[in-house]
Structure 1
Amino acid sequence: MTRGGRTKDREAPSERRCLVTGEVQPKAGLIRFVAGPDGVVIPDLAEKLPGRGFWVAADRPTLEKAVAKGLFSRGAKAQVKADADLIDGIEAALARRVVELVSLARKAGDAVAGFEKVKNWLADGKARVLLQASDGSDRGKGKLWTPPGGRWFGCLTASEIGLAFGRDHVIHSALAPGGLTDKVIRDASRLNGLRGHIGSSAAGKDSRADER
């Protein structure tokens, strides 16, 4: 509440302006950067590093433009430089974060893998996210469906999802609602942008098993 008794619209800004496009959008679609003490740009994926933050949309063409045109210096209000492998490093870090979050969700009982288990969770309304391997067959993936009001992602490979479940590879997985799943949605959305929406064929409506 304010002193006048009015309720604040929001406790903290949930949107930021992209340094490159100038567009204001939710933070979930942006990546925060800070300038390190050595004048090198540092991606702050957890959004916790101290210092002046500047934001860029989480898609590869926009990030490439920021690097090529030296736009990070404008955001930092100082002369800074970006490592040559900055974007690839962000992509790899996001993939690790998503795998680790899914692994934590699995250990908490909030994630399952395998066609039949995922299908049952979808049918019972237990799933909020359907996560399918980018290199799985479209025919097999199309036999499952995005949870109503939930999300679908195809930004990880079968081996990457497999890491989260202690297997060599996993094609289909699902996550229940919860705080960890919210973080998966945030980082998987960003990873989609870095990987050009890899595995972007939509999940289907039918449900019969032919893949694990």
Structure 2
Amino acid sequence: MNDWIMVKNKTNLRKCLLTGESLPRDLLIRFVVDPEGVVVPDVEGKLPGRGLWMRAEAGMIRAACAKDVFSRAARCKVRAPADLADQAELMLRRRCLDLIGLAKRAGELVGGYQQVRAHLRAEDAGVLLAARDGAVDGRAKVRALAPTAPLVDLFDGTELGRAVGRDRLVHAVVDKGRLAERICRETGRLSGLAREDRARRLAG
């Protein structure tokens, strides 16, 4: 999913603490040290303090915690919780679902299988949303109407439904625009954090 990220300002780079790579902020998670000396995620990039940037991949964040990379970067002893990657994923998941809810309230999201199919015949898609526990054949039929649009399948039907005020939602489309771009950007970051959990579900 990170391939979908459109980096408009190529000079807006930050260095990953673990790998030393200079990467666009859209591929990274910012962390800061709180007043108690604990590393906390700052997925919105708004908390005060020096930013400590890590690639948005759960395995890398866990490796950084194990190797005490955050202390070296902060130039003092700090505590990086073992579940730091999980904290970041939870915060980013909430942020993504909040954006989906915002798209619904803004009138830029259409939900429901038939409604989405009808909408795609008349409008271009900014991003398709498909519940990960939805039927594969239904997803394929929707996908065929917008084969080049980004497809997000990181949430189950209950999560998507709650985001838009329903019990359950399997198919949705967000119109092209800034909200669709933000959803693509944030779910791109989330995909790296959720990849291990997805692999565990498939293995099980």
The TM-score range, normalised by the shorter chain, is 0.7 to 0.9
Q: How does 1:175-194 map to 2 (within 5 A)?
A: 175-194=174-193
> Which 5+ residue runs of structure 2 have no aligned equivalent?
1-7, 200-204
Aligned residue identity for 2:63: K
77 and 123 in structure 1: CA distance in 2 versus 1, 3 angstrom threshold: farther
Which structure's CA Rg is the greater one? 1
Aligned residue identity for 1:48: K
1:204 maps to none
- How far apart are residue 85 of structure 1 and its match? 2.5
- How far apart are residue 148 of structure 1 and its match? 6.1
Aligned residue identity for 2:93: A
Identity of aligned residues (%): 40
- 8 Å CA contact retained: 2:41, 2:87: no
Deviations 1:154-189 (A, max 9, x none): 111111101112112111111112222222122211
Provide the C-alpha distance between the structure 2 equivalents of 1:53 and 1:13, rounded to a whole number of angstroms. Answer: 17
TM-score (norm: length of structure 1): 0.81
CA-atom RMSD in angstroms: 2.2
2:157 maps to 158
1:62 maps to 60
Provide the C-alpha distance between the structure 1 equivalents of 2:48 and 2:163, rounded to a whole number of angstroms. Answer: 30
Q: Matched residue pairs, number?
A: 191
- 8 Å CA contact retained: 2:110, 2:116: yes
2:5 maps to none
Aligned residue identity for 1:180: L
Q: How does 1:88-99 map to 2 (within 5 A)?
A: 88-99=86-97
> Which 5+ residue runs of structure 1 have no aligned equivalent?
1-9, 201-212
- 8 Å CA contact retained: 1:155, 1:198: no
TM-score (norm: length of structure 2): 0.84
Provide the C-alpha distance between the structure 1 equivalents of 2:193 and 2:150, rounded to a whole number of angstroms. Answer: 18
Aligned residue identity for 2:166: R
2:172 maps to 173
| Secondary structure at the counterpart of residue 107 of structure 2 | coil
